[in-house]
Amino acid sequence: MDFKLLVLDVDGTLLNSNREMTERTIKTLRKVQQNGVKIALASGRPTHGILPFASAIDLDFNDGYIISYNGAKVTEASTGKVLFERRIDPQMIPYLEKETAKSDCHLAYYYKDEVVATDITNEHIIDEAQMNGLKLRQVDDLASEFDPKNGEKKHWPFEVMIVNDDEQALGALDQYFQRHLNGVLDTIHSNPYLLEIVGYQVGKSYGMSALVQILGISMNEVLAIGDGRADINMLQMAGVGVAMGNASEEVRRCADFTTLSNDEDGAALAIERAFEEEKEKPEEDMEVPVDVLNAQNKNTLMGTLGMQYTFASPKRVEGTMPVDGRTRQPFGILAGGASLALAETLAGLGSLIVCKPGELAVGMQVSGNHVSSAHEGDTVRAVATPVHLGRSSHVWNVDIFTSTGKLVSSVRVTNSIIKKDF
């Protein structure tokens, strides 16, 4: 897989626990750009707060990009030109203030070189301002900052931050807004004390998708690295998603690989390995084109159940399957048998790729643990990786996830390797 774009989260990924970039990370990122790879820094920070790191890795001299406000804005690092943006209609702010008044919450938003907040003595709001190099400005309410007669979108906020030390209260507020603002605004519960309200269909994955379209490349040519909840969709959408060693189990399950932590140069290590493998990739590690395989399987069980291969190599096979009338149980959740069929299909392809000339792989045993449910209307994603590749048998582990990264089933598939009977 030839990567043309590297998308990096900032806090917890690019930066260590001291919020610093190490020399190794800086050198690695400069070298990658010298080899023609574009880099985009993707963060919940405002653009102003990302610029120092972009400058340190010469993003402005190498036609790099900044994805700020959790994907609400995409900017050219060299010119400051805005390539994509999606803002919040300020008419929604009085509603947000009314609903958050029921809890002990403080509101804030970024404006130019300021953090404008309802309580500038709050430690989390002070931290936001300090880490982004911004000034603090106190206001009684955010709604008063916007003139209802001013319809120019350039004055609209990119996000509103809701701060509360009560994680349960903030989680309940998140669920409430998801129900009542669906199709209007989106929420990002990025850490225990911070809930971010952003425009509809805003997220790092949307900003990354906009940039991919602008560059005219394929999502398979993107390597993404992150550590937080806000990075999950970005890691799932990229050709290869890498989770940091300091990421939660929830995030690691949604990635293709996990590297070391941000205090162990994990991002630099993942990048070095990825691009070294591009340079010296042995034939047995080459990616297998899946379009032809999918076309050949239209009239098989795969086609009947709507399965699709999305990636295939000797070390990993991925695929998807819809949860619909073909694969669900009568009460609307994914049938266990359909999960096993998907797992056997991916493991079977993996073994066929690994088999030597004159060999065949046939299913011998399958066993699965179904740990949660996937509901009708979703599309599950499965990842098969080899546990054992022997001369007479192959064992594969296949994990199946919902579109939001929740583990549905973990399946073990054993294939028998036999000689073809010519």
Residues noted as catalytic: 344
Say how far apart CA 34 and CA 359 lie, in whole Å: 44
The continuous run of DSSP H or E covering 394 comes out as strand 393-401
Checking phi first, is residue 407 left (phi over 0); if not, alpha (psi -120 to 50) or beta?
Answer: beta
Q: Which of 33, 70, 365, 114 is nearest to 226 (CA)?
A: 70
Cβ count within 10 A of residue 240: 20
Say how far apart CA 181 and CA 187 lie, in whole Å: 9
Token digits for 278? 């591009």
Which amino acid, 422? F
Say how far apart CA 237 and CA 120 lie, in whole Å: 37
Token digits for 150? 């001013």
Strand partners, 188: 196
CB-count burial class (<10 Å; 0-12, 13-18, 19+) for 238 = buried
